[in-house]
Every structure is written in structure tokens, then in C-alpha cells.
Amino acid sequence: MSRARIDSLVYFLIGAAVFLALGWLTPPYPDLSQSDFKAVYYASKALVHHRDPYLQANLLELYRSEPGNTSAAQLGASQVVTVCVNLPTGLLLIAPFALLPWTVAHILWSILTAALFLFAAYLMWTAGVDRAPRVTGFLMLVLLSGSQLLLQTGNAAGIVVSLCAIAAWCLLSQRHVTAGVICLGLALALKPQDAGFIWLLFLLLPAFRRAALQALAIIAALAIPAMSWAWRIAPNWIAELRANLLSTFAPGQLNSPDNPLTDPAVRGPMNVSLQTITAIYWSHPAIYNAVAYVVLAVLLLVWLTAAVRSMQNPWLLLAAIVPIAVITGYHRQYDTRLLILAVPACALLSRAGCRLGRLAVAFTFAAAILTSDIVIPDIGNLTLAMRTDHTGHGRTILYSLIGRPVPWAMLALAAFYAWLLWNPRGTNVVQ
């Protein structure tokens, strides 16, 4: 190994150690401990017990029947845990865990999340280390060390991001392609909002279209039994799921973009959709949604054109779609771990040693820092005094920049790659 490669590996290992230590050894907020896994665990358990998981009363009864869910903190978390917003395909995949006692299920889930995420990060490290060893290693150090919420909340994003990264490595390196197709299909089944744009990239690129269609076939194979199961137990599950989603996005509710509870100093992982920025400037949902959709449509159009014409290296196209995917629709802080898929492209650009390479490193590093689970709570604390009063144009701008750093960082990264995809120098740099 060269000295640079050894340094890169050391950075990676330090990041992995910090990820495990903070995720497993530091206490989360009382109502965050495995809260996201609890939600899908109890919903899947309800299906296993032939009860409608999309009715909150059923989940609340099941949740409170467990001996460990009687404390004030656990009962306070029940509002989040007992509103099912998962598709039947995800519940089907979680069913094996739902057959186990909670104490066993959440430990196995946490171990699986950690193992898959570290393995996926290692594959992304191998894809970039030969191009820019120290840049790759340091980015992985920052991204890994700031990902403890994946283990603390147990959100399926930890599994889905890992499956997406493994699929990308398999398909783009043309190694273990079948495994890559399976990983992509499972990721789509668990969280299509995270994996959907990654799948779309492979569908648009002719060399990978067959693999994308095969992943779609896996979804169909899972969807048929999952939906049949759901319809047999919950005939009105579609309407109930829609009602659950609308209830969480209603004004003042947990997932509303204009809700101050999206700030992590108040409650857990930050909502990172672009609407959390536009909602600061326009209070009406129709307006702040429209503004966000226009911005996202422009970015997506640039990316789609480049992808359809195969104008760029696939790793660059992958890195370009990651920030767009994260700020489109509803996502939270842990979904930003998709950034590990952007590391190989950053290394590819950094290798050239030109201004574009330095910009790629700067934007990716800024996004990695500002989305870190270590940094975000401290940034949230800075906005405590501004939450109740951010009137005035200058104060509103300052509040949006400080109070919503994640979507701003992702938007900047997406804008950089959109510019790069249409810059002739971008093509020359990676050749």
C-alpha cells in the first residue's frame, strides 16, 4: 500500500469506530431510541397477528401491551410509533423480525444496519481510493462519524442507503451484478422515496436498463403477496395509509415543513425537504410547495437530459441525483447518508487537481459536515432564540440559513453538479 492509501484506510477505520461508538454507546433522546424501527416493527407485528396496522388504535393497543412500553418516555413516543406510513412491501420484509420478541428483534436490526452500512461505505471507499486516497478517506471519516442516528433511531434508511450503495458498486463495476439487482429491488421495496431516483438512473442508462427492469420484477414479486396480505386483513388500507400520511403533514404536525418541531434541538432528526426552506418565506402550502417544485424540476431536468444523452460518467450522474433525491419530497436527516454514493465522483473530480476538483471537494465536504448527526443538534441550538421571532427580511434569511442548513447544503451540491453536467470542462476532467 502507498502511504496515501494507508492514511485513507486509517481515516475510514476511525470513522467506522466513531459511528459504532456514538450509535451504540451514547444515549439518544428518550423518545428517539429505536423509535423508527418500533413503528415498522409493531405495524408488521399487527399484520402477523391479523390486525389492521393502518388503524392507530390497533397499534396503540399492541404497543402498550408490551411490558417495556409503560414509562412516560415510551408512552410519549407512541404517537410516532403507532401511525403506520409504510407500504405493505416494507411490512412484509420486516415480518421475520416481527416474529421475534422486541428485545431480540431490535438488537438484530441494529447489528444488520451497522454491518450493511459499513460494508456499503467500504465499497464506496474502494471505488474512490485509487483516484484520490486522502480525499476519499477523509470524506468517509466525516460521513461515518456523523451517522449515529441510523443506529439510535433504527430507521430503515440505514438498510436502504446501504442496499443502494451496494447495488451501485455492483452494477457500475460490473461485478456480482445479480447481487446488485437484488439489493436495488429490496431497497425499492423498503423505501422507494430513497431508492427511486437511484433506480431511475440505471433505467435511463442503456448499459444498466436490463438490471433496472429486473429490480422492478423483484418489486412485483414482493408486491403481489404483500398487497394480497394487506387487503385480506385491512381491506381499506390504501385510504387509511393516505389518511395517516395526511395527518402527519397537516399544518402544525410533526412532518409539516413549516413546523418548528423539524428543528433537531426540539425533536430529533431534521426534516430536510426543500419545502422546509420555502415555507419560511411563504406561509401558504400551495405557494411554498410550488416554489420548491419549480427549483427541483429545473435541477431534475438538467440531470435527466444528461442521463438520457449519457453525457457524463455514471458515477457523476449518481452523485448529481443524490442531493436532488434527498430534498425532493419528505426526507429526514438520516436519509442524507445517501451522500456516501457521491464520494467516488468527488474522488474522480479531485484527481484532476483543477478548480472543478477543488469545488467538488468543497461542496461535498460542506454537505457532509452540515448533515452530520454530531453538528446538527448544535446548529439547532443556535436558532432557539430565533424560532419565535424571525420577522424582517434579513432575520428571515439568517434564520433559514442557520435553522435549515441541510437542505441548503444539498441544494448547493445539486446546483454544482447541475452546472457541471452542462459544463464541457466537466466531461474533459473525468476522461
105 Cβ contact partners less than 8 Å away, ≥ 6 residues apart: 41, 97, 98
User: Rounded distance, CA 78 to CA 290, Å?
Assistant: 33
Give the chain's radius of gyration (CA, Å): 21
User: Rounded distance, CA 244 to CA 214, Å?
Assistant: 31
Q: Give the containing element (helix H, strand E) for 343.
A: helix 343-351
Please give the pLDDT value at position 261.
44
Please give the pLDDT value at position 252.
62
**In this structure, is the dihedral angle defined by the CA atoms of residues 241, 245, 246 and 247, taken in order, positive or negative?**
positive
Please give the pLDDT value at position 253.
64
Please give the pLDDT value at position 381.
55
**Closest listed residue to residue 344, CA positions, set 160, 111, 156, 173:** 173
The CA-atom distances, in angstroms, between 310 and each of 205, 297, 307, 318, 393 are 7, 19, 5, 12, 42
Query: What's phi and psi for 314, nearest 5 deg?
Result: -55, -35
Please give the pLDDT value at position 258.
64
Give how far the C-alpha of residue 254 lies from the chain's centroid of Cα atoms, to the nearest Å. 18
Q: How many CB atoms lie within 10 A of CB 48?
A: 17
Please give the pLDDT value at position 384.
53
What cell does 313 get? 460518467
The beta strands (E) that lie in 25-134 are given as none
User: Rounded distance, CA 141 to CA 156, Å?
Assistant: 22
**In this structure, is the dihedral angle defined by the CA atoms of residues 275, 278, 282 and 283, taken in order, positive or negative?**
positive
Please give the pLDDT value at position 425.
61
**DSSP secondary structure, 292-340, as one string:** HHHHHHHHHHHHHHHHHTT-S-HHHHHHHHHHHHHHSSS-BGGGGGGGG
Per-10-residue mean pLDDT, the chain, length 431: 89 96 76 79 92 88 72 50 86 94 93 97 95 94 94 92 97 95 96 94 94 94 93 92 81 64 50 87 85 93 86 89 92 91 94 82 94 73 53 69 85 92 64 54
76 Cβ contact partners less than 8 Å away, ≥ 6 residues apart: 30, 31
The partner residues of 271 in beta bridges, in order of sequence, read: 332
State the burial class of residue 220 (Cβ atoms within 10 Å of its Cβ: 0-12, 13-18, 19+).
exposed
Interval 265-274: pLDDT, tens: 444 567 888 9
Interval 278-328: pLDDT, tens: 888 887 888 888 999 999 999 999 999 888 877 678 999 999 999 999 999
Q: How many CB atoms lie within 10 A of CB 61?
A: 13
Interval 25-63: pLDDT, tens: 876 655 567 888 988 999 999 999 999 999 888 888 888
Please give the pLDDT value at position 141.
97
User: Rounded distance, CA 79 to CA 349, Å?
Assistant: 45
- pLDDT, averaged across the chain: 85
The partner residues of 332 in beta bridges, in order of sequence, read: 271
Please give the pLDDT value at position 75.
44
**DSSP secondary structure, 198-261, as one string:** HHHHHHHSGGGHHHHHHHHHHHHHHHHHHHHHHHHH-TTHHHHHHHHHHHHHSTTSTT-TT-GG
SS3 assignment, position 226: helix
State the burial class of residue 80 (Cβ atoms within 10 Å of its Cβ: 0-12, 13-18, 19+).
middle
Please give the pLDDT value at position 377.
64
User: Rounded distance, CA 146 to CA 19, Å?
Assistant: 7
How are the residues of the chain apportioned to helix, strand and coil, as percentages rounded to the nearest 5?
75, 0, 25
317 Cβ contact partners less than 8 Å away, ≥ 6 residues apart: 201, 205, 303, 306, 307, 421
DSSP structural state of residue 270: P
Query: What's phi and psi for 193, nearest 5 deg?
Result: -70, -25
User: Rounded distance, CA 40 to CA 20, Å?
Assistant: 23
